[in-house]
Structure 1
Amino acid sequence: MKRVQEIVQSMFRMLNSAIAGIYGLMMIFIVICCIFFAHIRYWTLSYSENFLPAIVLLIFGGITICGIVTICKRADRECKIKPIIFWIVVPVMIFLMQIYFVWNYYVYTDWDVASVVGLADKIAHNESTDIYINYFSRYPNNLFLVFVFSKIMEIVHFLGGHAHEYFMLLCVQCAFNTCTGVLLAKIISKLFHNRVLTMVGYSIYFFLIGLSPWVSIPYSDSIALVFPILIMYIYVNREKFKCFSWFAIPFLSYIGYKIKPQTMIVAIAIMLITILNIKLSCIGRGYLKKVAALILGFLLALGISIAAVRSLNIQLDDEKAFGIKHFFMMGMNTQTMGVWAGDDVSYSDSFQTVEERDQADLQKAFERIENMGAVGFSKQMIRKTLTNYNDGTFFWGGEGAFYINVMERNTKISGFLRGLYYNRNYSSVGKYNTVWINFVQMIWLTCLGLGILGVCYKNQKERSVLMLSVIGLTIFELLFEARSRYLYAYVPLYILLAIYGVALLLNRAEKKK
């Protein structure tokens, strides 16, 4: 038995090393694409035209991170920041700042957001929902988000804030955004026991997520932001939470999945790494309790989601639903380079039943792969990689017409914030937009680069989970519809991997002294 255990553990170590190797090669490929292939034709090229060359941004990004590390070291040495200041006062200040900033620049947008918020508004006020039946028959995956938004609107309406229902959705997203930063910092503190690294990670969060305008768009991206990092926080503290952690992980994963399907990837990574590291000699009653907690958490989340959607009382045409095969077909569309395609929507919509549609979509997808050949498929993957990764704004302003109704605010800060964030039809207003997009692109590319160095950091289960999550997310976006916006909810995990790289560099710098 002991010999078998040793062989199994040796295999598991090899698999963990393989995960690190695959992740490292994948991230090197991504960074190389961003450096050397950013000029080729890909879907979001026109949105990236004002970016400085990636190699320049990486150099400046490295200098910026060095500056942040230096400032954080000095603050830790001289200021001795009290825990209550760092963990409570600073997050509250960021939360209030976000609300004030969002109030000064938010807009009403179109695309899927208009349908989700529109239906939630109708339900909250007991109005007819007929105009949304066709959209949600086609995309029923957004119904749970409609339920969440409608309940927030109902509460605000009940409290007499009818005119502010939309803005309160944004306030909730600000709260989720702030919690994301705190959870990220807590994880770094737990993994590294280093205040400097914690402050560095929190600083990167602030620049890349805390100041991101996506918090002003009420949709699944900002609502789902907190789920992967919360799931990761529970996993990192699994010894503290014990059996509850194995209840909470599937519960949160499925609730997150109903908001944003990609949320499930981190839970799958956790389960795989846990299975890979099980010690056969320790399997017993404790593992049975964990399995029971897993099943209970999943079933409870499933029950809540079903009850929530049914409570909306909307009669949909189930045969109009688009399945995952539709998005796989779009991902293989060479004309649109793997992003949303109106012609593909029309093609899928031409079939009367789900079975016919799924079969036709899958056949079309494989036909496209066959027609591409090996070279064409490689080009498609490079283009989709650039669409997914070569945009630190995460496709801000790119969906639909986007700027449908701009709220007028006569404040100086409003003019400045609009100058940073507004683009496209409002490019004349966005005087500083080029500065902002290059700054966040610099931070984003630097995170990706530092994440590669994390491969050389000492092996941890947590690191393997993070790497496997990123591998899974990247494969998901390469196979299905591409969008850099779909990475947004996982940005905290990319920051964690970047901190592994920073930790490695700091450790080596300390050894040289």
Structure 2
Amino acid sequence: MKIFNKLYKLGDKTVFILFEFLFLLTFIFAFQSSNLNFLGTTKTTIRFLLVLVILALLLTITKVRNFCSSVFIRHGYLTSLLLLLGVFFLQFQFVHNVSPEIGFDPRNIFSTLHDPNNNFYKTYFSIYPNNLFMLLSEKKILDTFHLIATWHNLDKITLFLVDFSALLNILTIHILKREKTISAIYIHIVWLLLFPMIIVPYTDTWILPAISLYVLCYCVIVKTDLHLALKVFVSLVMGAVIVVSYFLKPSGVIPFIAICLIEFLYLLRAKNYVKIFKLSTWIIALACLLSVSGSYYTINHKISNQKIVAITPGRETPALHFISIGMGPWGGYVHYEEDAMKNLKTIAERKTYSKKMIKKRMHKRGALGYIKFLLQKHSNNTADGSFGWLNEYQYINSPIKRGTTAYKYQKFLYPGGKKVGDFRFVAQLFWLFLLLSILLGFSYQTKFSKVLRLGILGGFLFLLIFEGGRSRYLIQFLPLFLMLASLTHSSARSFLAEIFHQFRLNWQHKIE
């Protein structure tokens, strides 16, 4: 009994230390981000900061503070929901006016819908069959709703998926800690306002509701008193959604792995042994496992027998390739290795090439050099609060149109837009707020918060090992960040308040 408790404490402490260490680094790197450089901003940022200062000063007035408390806290449900509806409307207006042609992988998937017989796209999907499920998903949704394959229609679908993910996150927080629901809505409101990825129809955004949904399912199973039959149904849904996440992005199962590991850790505690022998626990777990197995077979069969684009078997890129480029100059995509994957004929040759590049880079850097590289890569992976906006090759292929309704958005978000620096500055401030809320909210320790922390830690480690190099790859884990910040921000605020209180007492003592 005692040894199991010791193992639980060791595992729990290890996760906590690793998480806080990498998260502290993340905050430091984000604070040093070039997004906070005033030289890249305009008067818009100065006005924004002045408004924040004025609001802060107004809140020192008792009547103003009481009024804000009444509107945003006591009547917070009504206020936050109205604001959320307002944000949904602004997003719709944004997508309605701005639906540009996107480059890199989204363009290849989109173009395949229109020209599936093009040899370039046949080669692309032969090399990267991992994107076939995204292609099939786009095709299925467009056909179901009788929509033409246009960027505008795909952006509307992406908008719905992102907003649906936000609603699922809020519902999860409501089930866990009802008193934190209003804060969760406010946090998601700001995130949605600063998340232009809704015009980038790709796996980064399409996976968000899948992760949010299976995390919600887990929450429903462990935190509610639903009848066993309903929990079995929820576990079936959970299993299917986990598989969808896997086929969209294999790393999408990392939060599920975190769930399994934390549940295992908690079973090591003596008072939880009884759960092992509960019949309901085994029934729910078996239902989820059966759902995972059945869903995997079904989806894999559909992908293997898809008729949209003809692919050449045996040309797929091995996983070692993504580890290899993850060890490249900046830890991300390098064109010459993609060229090698195209030119080498067999999987064995591509694996051999990738192993050779991995050994070469390890030998060249050495132990200390590799540690230094990992620190820099972690910065590349996590520092940018705009999540790599405009950093991909040919990110947006549509020109700025001055004098149009779209221009008020384009000047903030398009390449060459004179106010792109303003967007990045404000997005970075919000990213720092999220990070600080989580970092200083360490005293908030529940099983669910540990699942979220371990899921984020798993995401960090995955991106350190595999292809990364920019924070776009962090988007898939945003539901975890948003939910954890919603739960911990009040603890972080209390921690800061205590520090300021002690500082003031010490200062007064020195004066006296």
Fold conserved (TM > 0.5)? Answer: yes
Q: 1:333 to 1:342 in 2, by over 3 A?
A: same
Q: In structure 2, which of residues 226, 229, 251 is the aligned counterpart of residue 262 of structure 1?
A: 251
In structure 2, what is the equivalent of residue 235 of structure 1?
218
1:488 to 2:475 alignment:
yes
1:318 to 2:313 alignment:
yes
1:302 to 2:296 alignment:
yes
In structure 1, what is the equivalent of residue 166 of structure 2?
181
In structure 1, the residue corresponding to 2:396 is in which secondary structure? coil
1:138 to 2:131 alignment:
no
Contact 1:72 1:200 in 2 (8 A): no
1:329 to 2:324 alignment:
yes
1:208 to 2:183 alignment:
no
Q: 1:77 to 1:499 in 2, by over 3 A?
A: closer
Output the CA distance in 2 between the equivalents of 1:393 and 1:437: 6
1:477 to 2:470 alignment:
no
1:29 to 2:22 alignment:
no
Give the unaligned 5+ runs of structure 2.
60-64, 225-229, 502-512
CA shift for structure 1 position 451: 1.2
Ranges of 4+ aligned residues in structure 1 off by more than 6 Å = 45-49, 59-72, 509-512
In structure 1, what is the equivalent of residue 407 of structure 2?
415
Q: Tell me the alpha carbon deviations over residues 245-304 of structure 1, each in whole angstroms, 9 at most, x when there is no partner.
A: 433333212201211222111011111111221233332333331332122111222123
CA shift for structure 1 position 72: 7.2
Contact 2:170 2:181 in 1 (8 A): yes
1:360 to 2:353 alignment:
yes
Output the CA distance in 2 between the equivalents of 1:366 and 1:48: 42
In structure 2, what is the equivalent of residue 289 of structure 1?
283
In structure 1, what is the equivalent of residue 509 of structure 2?
none
Output the CA distance in 2 between the equivalents of 1:398 and 1:9: 47
Identity across matched positions, percent: 21
Output the CA distance in 2 between the equivalents of 1:507 and 1:454: 9
In structure 2, what is the equivalent of residue 42 of structure 1?
none
Contact 2:440 2:495 in 1 (8 A): no
CA shift for structure 1 position 15: 1.7
In structure 2, what is the equivalent of residue 456 of structure 1?
443
Output the CA distance in 1 between the equivalents of 2:88 and 2:69: 25
Task: Tell me the amino acid that sits aligned with residue 249 of structure 1.
Answer: M
Task: Tell me the amino acid that sits aligned with residue 216 of structure 2.
Answer: Y
CA root-mean-square deviation: 3.3
Task: Tell me the amino acid that sits aligned with residue 256 of structure 1.
Answer: S
Output the CA distance in 2 between the equivalents of 1:255 and 1:134: 24
Judge which range, 213-222 or 342-351, deviates more.
342-351
Q: Tell me the alpha carbon deviations over residues 170-213 of structure 1, each in whole angstroms, 9 at most, x when there is no partner.
A: 1111111111221222222233321xx43333222222234411
Contact 2:30 2:384 in 1 (8 A): no
Output the CA distance in 1 between the equivalents of 2:323 and 2:459: 14
CA shift for structure 1 position 505: 3.7
Q: Tell me the alpha carbon deviations over residues 403-448 of structure 1, each in whole angstroms, 9 at most, x when there is no partner.
A: 3234859644x2211122112xxx1xx2322111100011112211
Output the CA distance in 1 between the equivalents of 2:467 and 2:442: 28
Q: Tell me the alpha carbon deviations over residues 334-353 of structure 1, each in whole angstroms, 9 at most, x when there is no partner.
A: 3xx11100111123333221
Q: Tell me the alpha carbon deviations over residues 205-235 of structure 1, each in whole angstroms, 9 at most, x when there is no partner.
A: 2222344111001111111121222222122
Q: 1:322 to 1:102 in 2, by over 3 A?
A: same
Q: 1:438 to 1:23 in 2, by over 3 A?
A: same
Q: 1:455 to 1:433 in 2, by over 3 A?
A: same
CA shift for structure 1 position 467: 0.7
Contact 2:436 2:492 in 1 (8 A): no
In structure 2, what is the equivalent of residue 347 of structure 1?
340
Contact 1:48 1:391 in 2 (8 A): no
Q: 1:218 to 1:363 in 2, by over 3 A?
A: same
Q: 1:403 to 1:32 in 2, by over 3 A?
A: closer
Q: 1:65 to 1:440 in 2, by over 3 A?
A: farther
Q: 1:154 to 1:342 in 2, by over 3 A?
A: same
Task: Tell me the amino acid that sits aligned with residue 418 of structure 1.
Answer: Q
Contact 2:318 2:351 in 1 (8 A): yes
Task: Tell me the amino acid that sits aligned with residue 107 of structure 2.
Answer: A
In structure 2, what is the equivalent of residue 249 of structure 1?
238
Q: 1:77 to 1:269 in 2, by over 3 A?
A: closer
CA shift for structure 1 position 471: 0.8
In structure 2, the residue corresponding to 1:345 is in which secondary structure? helix
Q: 1:67 to 1:416 in 2, by over 3 A?
A: farther
Q: In structure 1, which of residues 4, 14, 17 is the aligned counterpart of residue 13 of structure 2?
A: 17
Correspondence 1:50-89 to 2 at 5 A? 50=40, 73-79=69-75, 81-82=77-78
In structure 2, what is the equivalent of residue 439 of structure 1?
426
Contact 1:393 1:440 in 2 (8 A): yes
Contact 2:30 2:428 in 1 (8 A): no
Contact 1:273 1:461 in 2 (8 A): yes
Task: Tell me the amino acid that sits aligned with residue 241 of structure 2.
Answer: L
In structure 2, what is the equivalent of residue 387 of structure 1?
380
Output the CA distance in 2 between the equivalents of 1:77 and 1:47: 34
In structure 1, what is the equivalent of residue 91 of structure 2?
98
* Aligned length, in residue pairs: 475
CA shift for structure 1 position 399: 1.2
TM-score (normalised: structure 2): 0.83
In structure 1, the residue corresponding to 2:441 is in which secondary structure? helix
Contact 1:91 1:178 in 2 (8 A): no
Contact 1:393 1:441 in 2 (8 A): yes
TM-score (normalised: structure 1): 0.83
CA shift for structure 1 position 506: 4.7
Task: Tell me the amino acid that sits aligned with residue 30 of structure 1.
Answer: T
Q: In structure 1, which of residues 211, 220, 235 is the aligned counterpart of residue 203 of structure 2?
A: 220
Q: 1:46 to 1:349 in 2, by over 3 A?
A: farther
Contact 2:187 2:486 in 1 (8 A): no
Contact 1:453 1:500 in 2 (8 A): no
Contact 2:326 2:464 in 1 (8 A): yes
Task: Tell me the amino acid that sits aligned with residue 259 of structure 1.
Answer: L
Contact 2:173 2:487 in 1 (8 A): no
In structure 1, what is the equivalent of residue 505 of structure 2?
none
